[in-house]
Amino acid sequence: MTEKKPNFGTLSVWAGEEKKDGWQRATQVPVVHSVSFGYDDLDYWYDVALGKEKGHIYSRNTNPTVEVFEEKMRQLEGAEAATSFATGMAAISNTLYALLKPGDRVVSIKDTYGGTNEIFTHFLPRLNIEAALCPTSDHAAIETEIAKGCTVLYLETPTNPTLKVVDIARLARAGHAVGATVIVDNTFSTPINTNPLTLGADLVLHSATKYLGGHADALGGIICGSQELVHKAFAYREINGATLDPMAAYLMIRGLKTLALRIERQNQNAMQIARFLKGHPKVEDVFYPGLETHMHHEIAKKQMRGFGGMMSFFLKGDFDAVRVFLPRLKYAHIAANLGPVETVAGPPRTTSHVEVTPEQRAAMGIPESLIRYSVGIEDVEDLIADLEQALDGI
Ligand SMILES: *Cc1c(COP(=O)(O)O)cnc(C)c1O
């Protein structure tokens, strides 16, 4: 009898935590703070060092608690392998530096996360690696750049903060035609809404700080993909040292148990809030991939099981309207974060795109008065009432 693959709710809870006799029968994963692991049998230790035997030697490289987080994510993304990092940016930078060498070329989009954009525009050129950043909505232009040849095709979807959606399957085909490694930042979508590997990506990465942990209390990053590619990034990270802390890994494991539950709720809340804002006279426009009016709704429908908890919107008026509106929100932290159980709001100029200049933001189509709104798991009627009273105050 072949066993049916468990669904996401079950995987969130059980993946990596299947019943076993280890951990002295603890039902919850212990936080193993030990830096090193001792071996009286020197030959056995040597075999562990060579990877012939399973085991841990030094926690900068691998750690039992961290390993459970990696295994949970490996299963949720349906990958062969996974490895973790201290932050999402460490996952992104270490993976890029592990795969690229001077003279290589990267193709990406203009709307990547601010920190990622900074790697492309500042750090890679210093190593003589060109990053061609294409208009995010122009798939034909991206394909033209890919066809010129590239080592890495780097995508992010939906994008931060205007929620553009790029067609992973279409662009992965173009990338593979020139032998590129296709990387997708799946932070906004989470494995519950999208599995980029099933759409043709070679590597999927996350800022685990956001939805995976889900409680805004720990930083982390993860990549999932083939054993070969993941090992390259692991080999870079274990030497360069951006290792995930065991306590943070534990918080990720704990957060992940409710991932499917949280994302279902956030998908539902966000859809209702987007509809409410779209019809409000003080709101100029709403960017949410679930709205039929969204420019990439058709692509989103094709590759997302749910449209996520992230949206952004413009108020009528200038930044002064934002100055009045944001502090009036009772049920939203006004902060530079996204993805936790609480609703979080903020303008991109002080959140995702604080690293870039106003001119660069304008070039990326990010108006100074845009509001990024990360919908939490609160009761949606309360969130809508809260938005309504804050809009009334403008
Ligand atoms: C936050 C974020 C990152 C960076 O993650 P950190 O954990 O803050 O380093 C990368 N990509 C996206 C889409 C993000 O939202």
> Among 93, 207, 252, which is best to mutate for testing ligand 1, by the most ligand atoms less than 8 A from CB?
207
Q: Are 68 and 26 in contact (CB under 8 A)?
A: no
Report the candidate in 121, 181, 177 with the shortest Cα–Cα distance to residue 153.
181
pLDDT in the model for residue 2? 61
Q: How far is the CA of 189 from the centre of ligand 1 (A)?
A: 13
Question: Which protein residue has the closest C-alpha to ligand 1 atom 7?
Answer: 88
Cβ of 89 closer than 6 Å to ligand 1, yes or no, is yes
Per the annotation, the verdict on 58 as an active-site residue is no
Strand, coil or helix: what is 143? helix
CA dihedral 222, 225, 231, 232 (to 10 degrees): -90
pLDDT in the model for residue 352? 67
Please report the domains of the chain, with CATH numbers, ordered by start residue.
Answer: 8-256 (3.40.640.10), 259-392 (3.90.1150.10)
> Consecutive sets of 10 residues in the chain, 394 residues long: mean pLDDT of each?
84 92 89 97 96 96 98 98 98 98 97 94 98 97 98 97 96 98 98 98 98 98 98 98 98 98 98 97 96 97 98 91 96 96 90 73 76 97 98 94
What would the two tokens of residue 234 be? 């692991």
pLDDT tens-digit readout, 117-141 = 999 999 999 999 999 999 999 999 9
Cβ of 154 closer than 6 Å to ligand 1, yes or no, is no
Residue type, 310: M
pLDDT in the model for residue 380? 98
Tell me, what DSSP letter sits at residue 119? I
Cβ of 372 closer than 6 Å to ligand 1, yes or no, is no
Cβ of 221 closer than 6 Å to ligand 1, yes or no, is yes
**Which residues, in sequence order, are bridge partners of residue 223?**
83, 205
Q: Is 84 exposed, middle or buried (0-12, 13-18, 19+ CB in 10 A)?
A: buried
Q: Which of 39, 58, 60, 282 is catalytic?
A: 60
pLDDT in the model for residue 286? 96
- The H helix count followed by the E strand count for the chain is 16, 12
Cβ of 244 closer than 6 Å to ligand 1, yes or no, is no
Q: How far is the CA of 207 from the centre of ligand 1 (A)?
A: 5
